[in-house]
Amino acid sequence: MIRSGRRVMVFSAHAADFCSRAGGAIIKLADTGSDVLVCNLTYGERCESPALWAMNPQPNLGEIKRIREEEMNAAAEIMGVQIACFDFGDCPLIVGPDRRAQLVEAVREFKPDLVLTHWIRDELHPDHVETTQAVLWACRYCDAPGLLPQKPICDEPDVYCYEVTLGTAPFTGFVPDHYVDISETFDRKMAALAEFKSQPQLPDNYDVVARYRALEAKTTANMKACVYAEGYRSITGQ
């Protein structure tokens, strides 16, 4: 999964998902010379900004989006990747036909060979499921010449799913079949996560997750030197 020269698109439902769940691998990919583009479908302005909604006076929706945009841009700069947001609106996130066409266009324009996104069965966060259903649709039809014939087609990328909503792996059936040792990139991941001040719990939570996935990696993948890891589940590709 990690090698130089890849073209990688990372799709996230909300502003911080890419960093909390896949930040270590993203940094490794960028450091090895891969081109990485993060695409957030929303800013997570409604259901992923608890510290902002708790403020007094309470900021309006536009102000919350601006703050979340600043946070994700700062994190992406630390990680060394490009980032953009479709601003589809969250809670609920609805990706209908027109929006799916936008995702197809984005995939065809960037031509990724690897796509990272949410676990397809992350049912306890419906925005995540909606994201991955749309992303899989775009990745499976990006090579269909009869769809959006004005846009040149591209090959279908490998699709890997990253970590589920915390505490739901047994319920959602998320069992990694790939582990990435992020011990060398963990500090940068934590520095990037710290930029998401709207979700101050993220660094502590994902420190625990990374240590636990490292234990799994040591036991099941013989990654004996691993201290911090991220787990992934392949959907398509090797």
pLDDT at 46 over 80: yes
**Gyration radius (Cα) of the chain, Å:** 17
What is the average pLDDT score of the chain? 97
Partners of 116 in the beta sheet?
10, 160
* pLDDT tens column, 27-44: 999 999 999 999 999 999
CA nearest neighbour of 50 among 59, 42, 41: 59
* pLDDT tens column, 17-28: 999 999 999 999
* pLDDT tens column, 149-197: 999 999 999 999 999 999 999 999 999 999 999 999 999 999 999 999 9
Counting every residue written for the chain, the total comes to 238
In the chain, helix, strand, coil percent, each to 5?
Answer: 40, 15, 45
Over residues 70-75, mean pLDDT: 98
Distances (CA, A) of 178 to 2, 121, 175, 217: 11, 17, 9, 9
Distances (CA, A) of 61 to 12, 65, 110: 20, 6, 30
Query: What residues does each domain of the chain span?
Result: 7-236
Strand positions, DSSP E, the chain: 7-12, 35-40, 82-85, 114-117, 158-161, 178-181, 229-236
pLDDT value at residue 238: 57
pLDDT value at residue 57: 95
| 7-236: CATH topology | Rossmann fold (3.40.50)
